[in-house]
Each structure stands twice: as structure tokens, then as C-alpha cells.
Structure 1
Amino acid sequence: MSQQNQKLIDELKTYALDLMSDWSTSRSRQKSFILNYMANGFSNAAEAAKEAGFSEKSAHTTAHKMLGGSEKFLHIPPVVEKLKLAFDERQTELSILSNLEIEQFWADVVRGKIKDVKLVGVGEGEQVVKEVPADLSIRLNAADKAARSKGMYQTNIDITQRNIDIKVGDWDADED
């Protein structure tokens, strides 16, 4: 599991436990099922049921009943639905690059920390793929983007405020 997904699961665990806080202790395996299902990205309910302590033979059927909200498990689908929604929203938030991440990338390119991949001839018409330092044009482009993002190319513009007096002639409302 990626570090980003682990962070996401850790954040949502508190929310999940809060959603299930009024459940009786007899539902501890159901709570465990939901936490395990969330931990695997809502992708394998049968595995989550096994990890929650349900038998291997009945894990698939039990997971299906819990997610389907059969009579005994009506309380589970609303919680799973809320968690899936929160999971998807937070996953989207975490996938978006921050300004700092973008600036760090540009800085790494300018400093030559980011490598490029090129085909390099090794003789007799053969080529191999090798990591090479980024071309100067790529590094200059990254430096330009970093400078623009910091407003280094802004031109100072002097805008003076002018007052315009508008005079309205005397008129009497009774004349209408």
C-alpha cells in the first residue's frame, strides 16, 4: 500500500469508528469487517470478512449479506456508503499537487536532480535506454516556470487615481 493510501486510511479510521460508536460490542467483527474493507480500498469484501474473523468458507456470503444490507445487517450499508464517499473525496484531494510540490519539482529539474531518459548509441547501430541529466533547454524551461510562479517577471504598473466630479443641474421634482 502506498504511503498516500496509508495516510488516507489512517485519517478515515477515526471517522469510521465515530460512525460505528453507538454499535454494541456484539458487532465487533462487523466493525472489523468495515475497517478491513476500507483498508483494502473497498476492493475485496471477502478478504475483509476473513480478516475480521469470519470463516473462510462463509466469508464471501457473509460479506455479500453485510454489504447488501440483509435484515441482520441493515446498519452496515449506510456506514460503508459514507466511508466510500469520504475515501473518494480525500483520495482526490491527496492526488492533487500542491504549489509547494510543483515548485519543488521545478527546483529539482533546475538543479539536475531529475534525470531524463534517452536512447544512446552503443555501436553497430544498437541503442540502449539510459538515464541522463536533463538537457539545458529543459532546465531553463523549468527555471522560467519557477520564476513566473514567483512573479519575478511582473512589470511595475503605476495606476493613478483620478477623481471625476459629476455635476447635476438644479431641477425641481415638481416640474415633472
Structure 2
Amino acid sequence: MRNIALSINVVEATLNGTIISGKGTFGKNNDPIEFTSSKFLENVIKPNATIVAVGMLTSNVVDNFTALSLKITQAGVVPTGTLINSISVLGRASADPVVSATKDNEDITKFSLAVKAGKDITNWYAIAAFGKTGEILKNFVVKGKEVALSGRIGLSTWKNKETGAQCSKLELTADSVTLISSKQ
């Protein structure tokens, strides 16, 4: 779990006692997300509103599909059309980055990042980067290297070639990188 700021288009919001729960979409692909919040945000979190929400993001994989949930701690109304999707993490590369080409023949650099979230808890992030950020990661990151990344969260979806099932995973698309230490 990590604190994240997202712009959410609220589709449904229900007050049940002291808890608001609901569903919405985020990002340019209108990826689905569920959320909860305390009652004090009931004047902000309403159906058809676009809000900026800050909170703890969790993901749960069910039948190869990633379901996202955000426990909102702060929220505010934003102008329609404003998109906010920002996350920053600090961790260690779990493997050397791998470069491949997209279907548009653009280089994409991918690797996993291990981020400590507590004494005995490690969160794993699938990282993707393009352009100069991808080049930096490809040329300077190796397994064990500590890096700080900032970017946006999205769902990467694909069809399983063997089963035909729709699959997804949470992916951080890095916009900036800071190299922290030498390989450990």
C-alpha cells in the first residue's frame, strides 16, 4: 500500500453509517476503482463529481484481473476534465531492466521494484518507462540498485494466449527517476 493522489470520476457513492463507499473511474482509460471514505467527505464525494482523492491504494488479483481500492483520507472537487494520477516510490530493482518494443515500435523498459512498506512487508511494483526515462533505467539500473521513481498508476490489460482469459496488472509508468545508490 502507498499513498497516491488520483483524479476520480465518481460513478456511485453511498453513505452507510459513517462510511462512504463507491465506485468510479480514473486515468485516460477510465480504469475502474472502488473507494471508501469517512462521512466527513460526504459534501465532496457525490455521484457525477470529479474529485482529487489522496489515500492508500491497494490491489487484489481475482481470476487474473486486478481490482483497485482506494481508502480516501483527503478529497476535493476539481474542474471537469482535470486528471491527477501521481505516485512516488523508493525501492530496489528486483532484476535488471528488460527492453522490448511496443506494437508501435517504441522502446519500453520494464522491471519490478521492491518497496518496503513495513518491518516485514514488501510491495512489488511493475515498472514501465519510455523515452529518456527508459534509457536511464536501461543504462544505469541493475538488480539491487536503489531508485526513486515518480509517475502514474494504470492497469495494463491483455488476453492470456493459452486460456483466452482477460488479465490485468497494476503498473507504474515512470516519468522521472533518481538513482540513489550503488548496486547492493
Category of TM-score, reference length = shorter chain: under 0.3
Give the number of the structure with larger relative contact order, counting CA–CA contacts within 8 Å between residues 6 or more apart. Answer: 2
Normalising by structure 2, we get a TM-score of: 0.23
Between Structure 1 and Structure 2, the one with more helix by share is 1
